[in-house]
């Protein structure tokens, strides 16, 4: 996989206040809107490395993430925008990480609380929520939880809802990648979207007794394919982010540990029960 395309912003729309960060909503010279995060110095820029890693890994798991870009933003575009002091002038010397805005999207939290069996027919691939929940355990993403899902819903051409996991800067608990360990990434059950009524109903009604086959075919097998192509994933990360060979090697050994991944799937089933 190649490094992401570089585009230029032609307009800053506004700063977006969120629970974890405050990205800029900008319009690119391709006339699409993007959520842009600065690549802060010094390297390594852990949060942005995580965004690139997780976007590519989720894509390989068959999950629909927003398109990503590197976005050059001229500091002059900030004039009159009243940005917070987190946006220092020197941050605009480097391209921002950009995640393409998905038009017409809605947040998923309402479905987490009120989901029932009749809602299953609304979704193109309802079991994607199970994959996303497993992914959070796999990469130690504590920023996605039932109250702040970081999953948005869009409608496809067939008028079915599709799920889009977003915002993965907090993967690996913001830790230096060489220090990542299973103990430090342990996720409290209350933080997992696998404990929501939506996930539990989907596991029971859509997957049912085929839960083991689902995990083997749709998660663990795909993770092994990710391992075979991990160099392509690494190639998508801009070199100036400072993702060292030692860090990538440690993360590769950690993520593709068969024993750990099998245990995580067993834990996923427990959370869904």
Shared domain check, 228 and 169: yes
> Tokens standing for 66?
């927003």
Is residue 26 classed as helix, strand or coil in its secondary structure?
Answer: strand
Mean predicted confidence (pLDDT) in 75-94: 94
CA–CA separation, 68 and 49 (whole Å):
12
Q: pLDDT, tens digit, for every residue of 143-190? A: 999 998 999 999 999 999 999 999 999 999 999 999 999 998 988 999
Q: How high is the mean pLDDT of the chain?
A: 93
pLDDT of residue 86: 87
Shared domain check, 254 and 152: yes
Shared domain check, 96 and 112: no
Shared domain check, 95 and 12: yes
Of the pLDDT bands very low, low, confident and very high (cuts 50, 70, 90), residue 194 is: very high
CA–CA separation, 165 and 54 (whole Å):
10
pLDDT of residue 1: 53
> What CATH number should be reported for the domain holding residue 114?
1.10.1070
Of 96 and 40, more confident? 96
pTM above the 0.85 mark?
yes
Is 255:58 a contact under the CB 8 Å cutoff?
A: no
Name the domain boundary from 100, 134, 149. 100
Q: Give me the domain span that covers residue 89.
A: 6-100
Q: What is the number of domains present in the chain? A: 2
Shared domain check, 237 and 161: yes
Residue 34: pLDDT over 80: yes
> Tokens standing for 22?
């405050």
Of the pLDDT bands very low, low, confident and very high (cuts 50, 70, 90), residue 230 is: very high
pLDDT of residue 106: 86
Mean predicted confidence (pLDDT) in 51-63: 96
pLDDT of residue 107: 84
């Amino acid at each position: 996989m190649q490094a992401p395309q570089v585009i230029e912003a032609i307009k800053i729309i506004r700063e977006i206040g969120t629970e974890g960060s405050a990205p800029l909503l900008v319009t690119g010279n391709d006339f699409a809107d993007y959520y842009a995060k600065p690549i802060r110095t010094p390297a390594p820029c852990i949060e942005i490395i995580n965004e690139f890693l997780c976007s590519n890994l989720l894509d390989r798991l068959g999950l629909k993430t927003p398109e990503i870009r590197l976005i050059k933003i001229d500091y002059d575009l900030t004039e009159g925008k009243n940005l917070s002091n987190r946006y220092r002038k020197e941050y605009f010397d480097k391209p921002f990480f950009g995640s393409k805005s998905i038009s017409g999207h809605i947040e998923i939290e309402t479905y987490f609380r009120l989901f029932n069996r009749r809602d299953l027919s609304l979704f193109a691939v309802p079991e994607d929520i199970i994959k996303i929940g497993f992914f959070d355990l796999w990469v130690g993403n504590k920023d996605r939880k039932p109250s702040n899902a970081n999953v948005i819903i869009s409608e496809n051409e067939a008028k079915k809802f599709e799920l889009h996991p977003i915002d993965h800067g907090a993967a690996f608990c913001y830790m230096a990648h060489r220090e990542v360990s299973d103990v430090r990434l342990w996720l409290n059950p209350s933080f997992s979207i696998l404990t929501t009524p939506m996930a539990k109903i989907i596991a029971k009604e859509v997957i049912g007794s085929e839960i083991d086959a689902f995990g083997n075919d749709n998660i663990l097998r795909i993770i092994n394919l990710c391992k075979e192509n991990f160099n392509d994933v690494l190639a998508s990360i801009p070199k100036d982010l400072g993702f060292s060979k030692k860090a990538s090697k440690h993360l590769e050994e950690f993520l593709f540990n068969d024993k750990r991944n099998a245990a995580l799937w067993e834990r996923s089933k427990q959370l869904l029960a």
